[in-house]
Amino acid sequence: MSDNLTKSEIDWSKVRRVLVVRLRSIGDTVLATSSLIALKRFLPEAQIDILLEDWVAPLLDGFDSVDNVLSVGKASAERMKMAWQIRRNKYDVVFNLHGGTTGTFFSFASGARHRVGGREYQYKFLYNHLLSSAADFWQQTATHSAEQQLALLGFVGVPVEDRPRSRLAITDLALNSVNKRLEQSALRTQQSGFALFHPAAAFATKTWAVENFARTAEFLEEKGIQTVAVAANNETAVLERLVAESNVPVTIFDDLLLPEITALASKTRLFVGNDSGIAHIAAAVNTPSVVIFGSSNRDHWRPWTDAPNEIVYEPFPCQPCPGFVCSEFGEPKCILSVKAESVFEAINRVLAVKKVEN
């Protein structure tokens, strides 16, 4: 199979069904919405489906640029069943937005005539349209995750030049649920709105100190802005520490479903948190945001939104790094060095932009 095929080799007038494969995390899923928007805009009459991991699939509830969300777990039997379902769906084109081996398995199992991936993918011989790199496509050195995914579409002729921003739907069910939870809390939403915090992250190298989040809650309280903080139920201890460290009230939720977090983020005046999937959710509902970065690639993972936003970080020559451990200093100086005052200044700037827009 050639790895030098051109966009002219897909006759889009004959394409009726397209599958997008995007396994992995919350942030990956949110950023895939840019590609789904571009596809549905280009092929409004075609069936556009996406394959996601089951735990993250509810994130796309109500999203209007996809026709079917297929979800799959980790069990081998379940994955084989999904592979047969995908095969029966008879897709014309499949895009694997990430080069993982499981995604490649599903892409090849689809039997789609056109299978689009990247030249750096493992088992690239199972694709018949291979993009050299997103950097080549966009003619720029640094590329965002959303741009890397959009490049796969643009390479085979889908218009992506405007780089659609990420977007999520807010369902009535989730919004009603969140409104009830807020009514039951001590939150005084009639003040100047409230801020949403996400003080957790996947790695210590991405996790800003809880006491800094506490000082930030106090800073916002002085502006009449109360704080709501969310985390997963296995991260409850982080939320409890935030409450204990703060000298102002903080409302916490550790049991919200992903659509509920989306609805909550849409209601908040400001998001403040670590680089995480929740930060991308906030960006996708146009919430102004301040995101604190440590080990992560800032070019790749910054908020993909037109809403006011800033990233806060302290530069180190070892950034970015995989983030599992800090092999340079023994402790993650990148995230530990970010000062609360730097976040306060970013918050002031973002809130000032919001005031101008209103």
> Tell me: the pLDDT tens digits for 73-93?
999 999 999 999 999 999 999
Give me the phi and psi of 192, to 5 degrees please.
Answer: -100, 35
> Tell me: the pLDDT tens digits for 163-174?
999 999 999 999
Q: What is the pTM of this model?
A: 0.95
**Given the DSSP bridges, would you call strands 226-230 and 194-198 parallel, antiparallel or unpaired?**
parallel
**pLDDT for res 9:** 81
Quick check: 323 pLDDT over 70?
A: yes
**pLDDT for res 357:** 52
What average pLDDT does this structure show over 186-204? Answer: 85
Q: What count of other Cβ atoms lies within 10 Å of the Cβ of residue 210?
A: 21
What average pLDDT does this structure show over 90-119? Answer: 96
**pLDDT for res 97:** 96
State the chain's mean pLDDT as an integer.
94
What average pLDDT does this structure show over 207-213? Answer: 97
Quick check: 315 pLDDT over 80?
A: yes
> Which ranges in 185-297 belong to alpha helices (H)?
210-221, 236-245, 258-267, 277-284
DSSP string, 182-237: HHHSS--TTSS-EEEEE---SSGGG---HHHHHHHHHHHHTTT-EEEEE--GGGHH
> Tell me: the pLDDT tens digits for 240-258?
999 999 999 999 999 999 9
**pLDDT for res 3:** 43
Give me the phi and psi of 213, to 5 degrees please.
Answer: -65, -35
Pull the structure tokens for residue 22: 């995007």
* Percent with pLDDT over 90 in the chain: 91
